[in-house]
Amino acid sequence: MTQKPDSCDARTVMIRMTAATTAMIAAAVGMASPASADDRLDGEYTFINGPTSNTWSITTQCNAEVTCGGTISTSTGLLEQITRIAGGPWTIERTDVPNGRVCPNGGTGPADLMYSFDPATLVGAISFRSKPGVCGDPDWTSGQNPISLVKV
């Protein structure tokens, strides 16, 4: 006479629990995915700053938390880092740019620049901050101009 194994012995329970846990982990990993391609900013774009424009080549990567980073290279020779924190705009920071500020008389002076773009519309602003003495101003000066990117 053969004995029917007890379906609730400790070994059987452990095997079933391990199998169930493995199946749940596999399902969770399968549903989790890296940031989608829509979160990245890649390709050729026309950068528009008032009446001037040039071509930007942008390459970015994003992690699962949608924190992104990459590089831009422009038709004018600029090579800079571009970043985006989850939920925020795309930004490019440049410090002590020799011609970063356009003076009222048409001349230029050094300034720190911050480019900022909305990730959905690619419309934004370039902000400048210049030190006292630039363009004859006795105080720190700041301002911004509208800018945009258009996919080529």
| pLDDT tens string 20-48 | 433 343 333 333 334 444 678 999 999 99
Residue 46 burial by Cβ neighbours in a 10 Å radius (0-12, 13-18, 19+)? middle
pLDDT of residue 29: 34
Mean pLDDT over residues 111-120, rounded?
A: 95
% of the chain exceeding 90 in pLDDT: 62
144, pLDDT greater than 90: yes
Calpha distance 143→51 (Å, rounded) = 18
Question: pTM for the whole thing?
Answer: 0.71
Phi, psi of 46 (to 5 degrees): -95, 120
13, pLDDT greater than 90: no
